[in-house]
């Protein structure tokens, strides 16, 4: 019973973080029962919630001892588009949510510019706990934590992954190239297509990168719509292919 109440509280906290105080009727029902691997479809919320419960007290690497909050991920458990950063920063560590603060707001604006919202995508990091001082993830930490990310992706089953920032791309793809080069390549991870682009925090530090980032996000928008069978975006009777952007 206590577990059910705790799960309900977590669900509504997450719901509030995503949707504010408005109660979204018809939102997927809370469920914490682990689903068999072959029954994932249609029960991703319950399966993800159960997986979160299973791993949120993890102490497999030293970051477990220094974190404030475990940062699982947030968004639509059935998302076709997943964004992956490297690790929680200071604000995420306090909030227990990925991409909060100014960088998170900018990500929300970017999503809105490509006709998406946090409600439609899923956002997570390679590491679930904050590296002290925001240093880059260390290989042993990635080795310990990456199976969690892989399981999340197995449950969500996205059609397109976007890495945010060079470190996330390099860590996930094991490619030691500049972000400039990685942005122009198409990669695959666990059989899913991957595109690399800038981290929103980097765009805040270097506004000059917003123009190339906007090119990336337009390409991401178009590829996402193509992969999911959505028709090209049309506004005012005109197919949207370029725009003012962020
Ligand atoms: S970073 Fe990952 S492996 Fe390390 S303690 Fe946190 S959840 Fe566990």
Taking only the tens place, the pLDDT of each residue in 79-124 is 999 999 999 999 999 999 999 989 999 999 999 999 999 999 999 9
Average pLDDT over residues 41-48: 75
A 10 A CB-CB count for 242 gives: 8
pLDDT at residue number 23:
42
Structure confidence by residue, pLDDT tens digits, 125-146: 999 999 999 899 999 999 999 9
Q: Whose CA is nearest to atom 2 of ligand 1?
A: 145
- Evaluate whether residue 246 is within a structural domain: no
Lining ligand 1 with CB less than 6 A are 58-61, 63-64, 127-129, 141, 144-145
Which CATH number belongs to the domain containing residue 77 in this structure?
A: 3.40.470.10
pLDDT at residue number 45:
77
The tokens describing 140, both together, are 């042993």
Q: Are strands 234-235 and 192-197 parallel, antiparallel or unpaired?
A: unpaired
- Evaluate whether residue 116 is within a structural domain: yes
Which structural domain, as residue segments, surrounds residue 17? 2-233
In ligand 1, the atom with minimum distance to the C-alpha of 55 is 7
In ligand 1, the atom with minimum distance to the C-alpha of 67 is 6
Separation of 244 CA from ligand 1 center, angstroms?
A: 40
When divided into structural domains, the chain yields a total of: 1
Using pLDDT thresholds of 50, 70 and 90, give the confidence band for residue 189: very high
**35: which residues sit within 8 A by CB, 6+ positions away?**
43, 46, 47, 50
- Are 162 and 173 in contact, with CB atoms under 8 Å apart? no
In ligand 1, the atom with minimum distance to the C-alpha of 87 is 1
Q: Which of 144, 147, 150, 151 to mutate to test the pocket of ligand 1 (most atoms within 8 A of CB)?
A: 144
- Evaluate whether residue 81 is within a structural domain: yes
Separation of 165 CA from ligand 1 center, angstroms?
A: 20
Average pLDDT over residues 185-200: 97
A 10 A CB-CB count for 159 gives: 16
In ligand 1, the atom with minimum distance to the C-alpha of 127 is 1
Bridge partners, 123 (sequence order): 74, 83
Using pLDDT thresholds of 50, 70 and 90, give the confidence band for residue 147: very high
Average pLDDT over residues 29-41: 37
Separation of 63 CA from ligand 1 center, angstroms?
A: 6
Provide φ and ψ at 151, rounded to 5°.
Answer: -70, -40
Q: Whose CA is nearest to atom 5 of ligand 1?
A: 64
pLDDT at residue number 217:
97
**Residue 243 in this model has a pLDDT that exceeds 50:** no
Separation of 115 CA from ligand 1 center, angstroms?
A: 33
If we measure between CA atoms, which residue out of 179, 74, 175, 68 comes closest to residue 131? 68
Average pLDDT over residues 181-190: 96
* pLDDT > 90 in the chain, percent: 73
- Evaluate whether residue 49 is within a structural domain: yes
Q: In the Cβ-directed half-sphere of 82, how many Cα atoms lie within 13 Å?
A: 27
pLDDT at residue number 20:
42
- Evaluate whether residue 114 is within a structural domain: yes
- Evaluate whether residue 202 is within a structural domain: yes
Average pLDDT over residues 14-33: 37
Separation of 105 CA from ligand 1 center, angstroms?
A: 26
Q: Which of 59, 61, 87, 137 to mutate to test the pocket of ligand 1 (most atoms within 8 A of CB)?
A: 61
Q: Whose CA is nearest to atom 4 of ligand 1?
A: 61
- Evaluate whether residue 190 is within a structural domain: yes
- Evaluate whether residue 245 is within a structural domain: no
More confident call, 45 vs 212: 212
pTM of the model: 0.80
Bridge partners, 124 (sequence order): 84
């Amino acid at each position: 019973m206590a577990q059910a109440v705790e799960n309900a509280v977590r669900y509504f906290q997450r719901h509030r973080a995503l949707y504010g105080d408005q109660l979204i009727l018809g939102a997927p029902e809370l469920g914490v029962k682990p689903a068999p691997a072959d029954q994932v479809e249609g029960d991703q919320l319950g399966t993800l919630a159960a997986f979160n419960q299973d791993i949120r007290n993890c102490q497999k690497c030293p970051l477990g001892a220094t974190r404030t909050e475990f940062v699982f991920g947030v968004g639509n458990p059935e998302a076709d588009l997943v964004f992956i950063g490297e690790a929680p920063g200071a604000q995420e560590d306090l909030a227990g949510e990925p991409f909060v603060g100014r960088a998170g707001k900018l990500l929300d604006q970017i999503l809105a510019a490509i006709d998406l919202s946090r409600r439609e995508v899923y956002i997570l990091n390679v590491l679930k706990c904050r590296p002290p001082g925001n240093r880059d993830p260390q290989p042993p930490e990635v080795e310990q934590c990456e199976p969690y990310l892989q399981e999340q992706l197995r449950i969500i089953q996205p059609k397109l992954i976007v890495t945010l920032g060079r470190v996330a791309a390099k860590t996930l793809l094991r490619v030691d190239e500049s972000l400039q080069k990685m942005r122009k390549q198409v990669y695959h991870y666990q059989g899913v297509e991957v595109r690399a682009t800038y981290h929103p925090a980097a765009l805040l530090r270097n506004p000059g990168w917003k123009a190339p980032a906007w090119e990336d996000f337009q390409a991401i928008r178009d590829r996402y719509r193509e992969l999911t069978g959505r028709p090209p975006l049309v506004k005012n009777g005109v197919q949207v292919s370029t725009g003012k952007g962020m």
